[in-house]
Amino acid sequence: MQPIIVQSASRPTSRELRVLLAVVEAGSVREAAAEMGLSCRTIESHLDHLREKSGKRHIAQILLHYMQAGLIPEQDPDCAGQAGANDPSGRSKNS
């Protein structure tokens, strides 16, 4: 597969990418907002910017788009599934 070339005008900011990854890892905008100390509206605003820049609608599509562009490293297969290792209270299931 050919890598996607992202033009500078459509390049996401580092903050937008951090928000995207936080939403993916947290599983929801609300959880990501709580973890980052931001409002849900701020998170949604960053996601809206990413939708405009990438031309994609869904979070998974945006994530894949920027992974293919090399702006987000692919997850190490040894770490797969660890994003959900915490229960809703924030405590590790291994504790």
Count up the domains in the chain and report the number. Answer: 1
CATH number for 24: 1.10.10
Predicted TM-score of the model (pTM): 0.72
Residue 55 falls inside a structural domain? yes
Give dist(CA 28, CA 66) in Å, integer: 19
Chain mean position to CA 86: 18
Q: What is the pLDDT of residues 64-94, one digit of tens each?
A: 999 999 999 886 555 544 444 444 444 444 4
Domain annotation covers residue 79: no
Query: Are 10 and 53 a contacting pair, CB within 8 Å?
Result: yes
Residue 8 is assigned to a structural domain of this protein: no
Give residue 2's pLDDT: 65
Q: Which domain holds residue 20?
A: 13-71
- By CB neighbour count within 10 A (0-12 exposed, 13-18 middle, 19+ buried), where does 84 fall? exposed
